[in-house]
């Protein structure tokens, strides 16, 4: 059996065959010849018989043991009426790549599971090569079909570096996949998602979850008016805790009794413990903290009343039946306005403006927890990569790891 025949069977190239084998200082160089073809194809799809010029090029392939392997072939440049002078496509590599498709697939598979520096060291290539391979793999697998069959989505933002630099993330509640990533936190970023979605697919949306930001809600109401907007319960309770904190700050700590030395810190410690008890849920109070809360009702009724309002609003998401959500929320707003506690009354007015969105989240059982969980995974990707040089690199990693892209290794059968 000839050596070229052996390498043909090992590589399994499509529409090409090994015609020469050479050992060099850089590694094993395999000369590859394309089978007879009548047309040359541009990456955009244009085909022609005319050649602009020819040249020799090498592509890095998977190693054979400890030996680097290179594929070398003569390629043609063609004059495309749309793209200009471009290099033809070859079946063993992606357009513009200097690594074979199998090599880039392995890089992408490893990048899903480890940092790029370790991948580069393992496969003996540069960090930039891994970054370019990830972008190429994502561009090859990311198609418009990911935007099909979207019914319930969540939108959130995440900062990727200091200086208020954000990414807008859109995820699918049903599959848990990231379907859209845009640079910046703006109305245009979310509007670009609906532009890519198209009016027909936008009309299929049933619910959109988001936080209380005023950025995304107007765009959703304009581009998908039939979709129900749901405000995330986590942010509602966060607003409530902030209002309770203002009430706590407005009450001065108790003064120590006369028989106690002024330098004693016991009242201060008790007051600080009370702050932790106020932040805790009713079901999580231990006997000591419960005693502190009960004492508030006798001595600091307004502060106890604010805590009680906070717990009643938590009951909206914990114990209230879905069909009673609107009645419960309406009664809570009335109680908060009548309490004469300014922070709670202001919160009630704020919740009244978002009444339908808050009630819809309870009725549909939706929250932005899916998007928040994705944000946590993105943080892991950032820490694992020790940062990324550009938002495009981070976006590619988000699609690679969280976009549902499944790569098959060349060794898998």
Tens-place pLDDT, residues 193-249: 999 999 999 999 999 999 988 899 999 999 999 999 999 999 999 999 999 999 998
- Please tell me the predicted confidence (pLDDT) of residue 260: 46
The answer, yes or no, to whether residue 254 has pLDDT greater than 80, is: no
Taken in order 331, 334, 339, 343, the sign of the CA dihedral is positive
pLDDT average, residue stretch 57-78: 93
Alpha-carbon distance 158 to 165, whole Å? 8
Are 364 and 348 within 8 A, CB to CB? Answer: no
Reported as a single tens digit per residue, the pLDDT across 108-127 is: 999 999 999 999 999 999 99
On the 0-12 / 13-18 / 19+ scale of CB atoms within 10 A, 365 is exposed
- Please tell me the predicted confidence (pLDDT) of residue 194: 96
Alpha-carbon distance 133 to 102, whole Å? 11
Q: CA-CA distances (angstroms) from residue 255 to 16, 35, 300? A: 88, 92, 14
Write the DSSP string, 312-357. Answer: HHHHHHHT--GGGHHHHHHHHHHHHHHTT-HHHHHHHHHHHHTHHH
Element holding 47 (H helix, E strand): strand 47-48
Global pTM reads 0.86
Alpha-carbon distance 357 to 219, whole Å? 15
Instruction: Count the neighbouring beta carbons within 10 Å of the beta carbon of residue 99.
Output: 24
Outline where DSSP puts E strands in 213-323.
228-231
Q: What is the largest CA-CA distance in the chain?
A: 104
User: What confidence category does residue 409 fall into, taking pLDDT thresholds of 50, 70 and 90?
Assistant: confident
Please state the separation of Cα 79 from the chain's center in Å.
40
**DSSP reduced 3-state for 94:** coil
Task: Give Rg (Cα) of the chain.
Answer: 31
Beta-strand relationship, 228-231 and 152-161: unpaired
Residue with tokens 């998401």: 317
């Amino acid at each position: 059996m000839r050596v070229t025949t052996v390498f043909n069977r090992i590589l399994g190239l499509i529409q090409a065959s090994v015609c020469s084998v050479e050992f060099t200082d850089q590694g094993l160089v395999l000369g590859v010849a394309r089978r007879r073809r009548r047309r040359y194809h541009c990456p955009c799809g244009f085909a022609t018989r005319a050649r602009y010029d020819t040249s020799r090029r090498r592509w890095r392939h998977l190693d054979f043991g400890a030996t680097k392997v290179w594929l070398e072939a003569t390629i043609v440049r063609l004059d495309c009426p749309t793209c200009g002078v471009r290099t033809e496509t070859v079946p063993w590599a992606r357009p513009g790549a200097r690594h074979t498709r199998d090599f880039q697939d392995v890089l992408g598979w490893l990048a899903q599971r480890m940092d790029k520096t370790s991948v580069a060291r393992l496969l003996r290539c540069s960090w930039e090569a891994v970054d370019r391979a990830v972008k190429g793999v994502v561009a090859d697998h990311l198609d418009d079909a990911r935007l099909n069959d979207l019914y319930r989505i969540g939108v959130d933002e995440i900062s990727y570096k200091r200086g208020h630099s954000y990414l807008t993330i859109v995820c699918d509640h049903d599959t848990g996949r990231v379907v859209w990533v845009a640079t910046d936190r703006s109305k245009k970023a979310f509007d670009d998602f609906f532009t890519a979605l198209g009016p027909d697919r936008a009309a299929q949306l049933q619910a959109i979850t988001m936080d209380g930001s005023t950025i995304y809600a107007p765009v959703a109401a304009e581009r998908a008016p039939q979709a129900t907007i749901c405000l995330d319960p986590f942010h509602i309770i966060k607003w409530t805790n902030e209002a309770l904190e203002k009430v706590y700050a407005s009450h001065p700590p108790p003064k120590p009794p006369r028989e106690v030395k002024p330098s004693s810190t016991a009242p201060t410690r008790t007051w600080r413990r009370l702050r932790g008890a106020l932040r805790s849920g009713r079901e999580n109070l231990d006997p000591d903290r419960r005693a502190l809360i009960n004492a508030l009702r006798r001595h600091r009724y307004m502060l106890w009343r604010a805590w009680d309002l906070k717990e009643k609003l938590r009951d909206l998401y914990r114990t209230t039946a879905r069909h009673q959500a609107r009645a419960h929320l309406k009664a809570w707003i009335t109680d908060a306005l009548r309490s004469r506690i300014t922070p709670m009354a202001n919160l009630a007015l704020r919740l009244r403006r978002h009444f339908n969105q808050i009630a819809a989240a309870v009725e549909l059982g939706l929250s932005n927890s899916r998007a928040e969980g994705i944000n946590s995974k993105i943080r892991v990707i950032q820490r694992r990569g020790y940062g990324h040089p550009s938002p495009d690199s981070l976006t590619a990693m988000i699609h690679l790891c969280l976009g549902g892209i499944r790569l098959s290794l060349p060794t898998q059968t």
